[in-house]
Structures are given as C-alpha cells and as structure tokens.
C-alpha cells in the first residue's frame, strides 16, 4: 500500500486545503487512482520537535480502521483535542 503523508499546523489549515482549494477536485477523483478503503486519511497530533514516519502513519491508519476514531488516530468527522491523546 502506498502511503503519502503531510504535516499541518492545525486541523483547520488541513481542512481548508483538503476541501476548499484546488485539491478538492483531485480528492473527488481519488477512486480513479486508489483502491477503496474505509479510511484513507488519518489525523493525529504530533509533539513539537517529533518528525512522524510513514510507519507511524500506517500504524495509526490501521488503528483507525480497527477501532474507529480515538485520540490516537482520528478523522475530520471526529477531531480530538491535542491534550486528549
């Protein structure tokens, strides 16, 4: 499975890029390029100074898929505050 990752300063900034920019057109067409997944995006809070790895992203995506949104791994639909993780 291919994994892409980006790090954002806030959920609001990421939401703006994802749903209110030119990126939205590509997001609408994602099924043309990617296999269907229950969850294709996972969010989590990254401590200052920590550089997340692709392995960490995979683990959090699997956690989200198995257990649904938690402070460890969540989605835009259910966002947890940084201090809840």
Q: Is residue 2 part of a domain?
A: no
Is residue 36 assigned to a domain? yes
Write out pLDDT tens, residues 21-70: 676 777 677 677 666 655 578 999 999 999 999 899 989 999 999 999 99
Q: Which residues pair with 73 in a beta bridge?
A: 70
Contacts of 54 (CB under 8 A, 6+ apart): 3, 5
Is 6 within a domain?
no
Q: What pLDDT does residue 1 have?
A: 57
In terms of pTM, does the model score above 0.75? Answer: no
Number of domains the chain is built from: 1
**Does residue 77 belong to any structural domain of this protein?**
yes
CB 25 within 8 A of CB 74: no
Residue 51 lies in a domain: yes
Residue 59 lies in a domain: yes
Backbone angles phi, psi at 67, to 5 degrees: -125, -5
* Rounded Cα gap, residues 56 and 61, in angstroms: 9
Alpha helices in the chain (DSSP H): 11-19, 23-28, 30-33, 54-67
Tell me which residue range forms the domain holding 17. Answer: 11-84
């Amino acid at each position: 499975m291919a994994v892409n990752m980006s790090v954002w300063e806030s959920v609001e900034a990421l939401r703006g890029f994802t749903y209110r920019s030119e990126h939205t057109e590509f997001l609408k067409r994602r099924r043309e390029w990617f296999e269907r997944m229950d969850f294709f995006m996972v969010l989590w809070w990254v401590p200052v100074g920590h550089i997340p790895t692709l392995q960490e992203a995979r683990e959090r995506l699997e956690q989200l898929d198995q257990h649904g949104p938690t402070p460890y791994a969540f989605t835009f639909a259910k966002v947890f505050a940084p201090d809840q993780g």
